[in-house]
């Protein structure tokens, strides 16, 4: 989302850092490291996703600090790798944006929380919901987890970011509505389309790359 220096208060910076560290530690503990070491295709997907996201996040638009717009792409990575590896892949991608000077190191935790962790956890939650519903048509996975999941994840991430900026006193609530919230549905459409299209393509040509897809459930 493009958090820049001096946008958050000291207490917010500390809280976001603590949340970032806790979720990252949770992700690291949840990863099946043995399976990752033994699966070359999974390794290629993991590192390839980090590189693609790192360069994709260089492209963004926006006028006001902290309210930049760009495609996240975290939903499809979550469906491909699982939430834990998606968080770690996004972590590496964010390192690329810091190295290239696109993001400040000081806001690494805040940007990681909003851009990577919140979308990954929301996408994971929607995937679990779709699984519990026990849909038998594979289109349910495509639309709920891919298209709608991506749109909802970016909406939640954007709302979290705006809440942080509002409580820090950087922007008034009316300003956030005028400059961000009223455009949020327009952000959700391309996010859903990009992620949903990739999920559809993978489901047709390489369903084995979607580690969260239970092919036995659909007919």
With respect to residue 4, please indicate whether it lies within any of the assigned structural domains: no
Separation between Cα atoms, residue 87 and residue 121, nearest integer Å: 9
DSSP annotation of 66 reads T
Expressed as residue numbers, the domain containing 170 is 10-217
* Cα–Cα distance, 196 to 145 (Å, whole number): 8
Query: Does 173 have pLDDT greater than 80?
Result: yes
Six-digit token string for 150: 């991506």
Number of domains in the chain: 1
CA 118, CA 74: separation in Å to the nearest integer? Answer: 10
144: enclosing H helix or E strand: none
CATH of the domain at 110: 1.10.1760.20
Nearest to 150 by CA among 199, 97, 183: 199
Write the pLDDT tens digit of every residue in 28-64.
Answer: 999 999 999 999 999 999 999 999 999 988 877 655 6
Asked if the model's pLDDT at residue 92 lies above 80, the reply is yes
Q: What is the pLDDT of residue 12?
A: 86
The answer to whether residue 188 is domain-embedded is: yes
Report the C-alpha gap between 94 and 116 in whole angstroms.
Answer: 9
Check residue 62 and give left, alpha or beta (phi > 0: left; psi -120 to 50: alpha).
left
Residue 45 maps to a domain? yes
**Positive or negative, the Cα torsion across 122, 127, 131, 137?**
positive
Mean pLDDT for the chain overall: 88
């Amino acid at each position: 989302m493009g958090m820049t220096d001096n946008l958050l208060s000291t207490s917010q910076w500390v809280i976001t850092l603590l949340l970032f560290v806790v979720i990252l530690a949770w992700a690291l503990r949840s990863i099946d490291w043995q399976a990752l070491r033994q699966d070359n295709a999974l390794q290629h997907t993991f590192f390839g996703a980090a590189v693609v996201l790192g360069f994709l996040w260089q492209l963004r638009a926006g006028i006001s600090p902290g309210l930049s717009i760009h495609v996240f792409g975290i939903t499809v990575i979550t469906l491909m790798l699982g939430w834990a590896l998606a968080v770690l892949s996004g972590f590496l991608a964010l390192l690329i944006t810091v190295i290239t000077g696109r993001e400040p190191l000081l806001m690494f935790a805040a940007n990681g929380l909003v851009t990577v962790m919140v979308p990954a956890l929301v996408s994971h939650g929607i995937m679990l919901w779709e699984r519990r519903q026990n849909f038998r048509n594979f289109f349910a996975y495509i639309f709920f987890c891919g298209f709608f999941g991506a749109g909802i994840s970016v909406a939640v991430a954007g709302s979290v970011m705006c809440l942080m900026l509002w409580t820090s006193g950087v922007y008034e609530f009316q300003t956030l509505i005028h400059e961000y919230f009223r455009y949020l549905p327009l952000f959700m459409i391309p996010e859903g389309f990009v992620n949903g299209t990739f999920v559809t393509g993978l489901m047709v040509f390489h369903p084995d790359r979607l580690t969260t897809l239970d092919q036995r459930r659909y007919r």
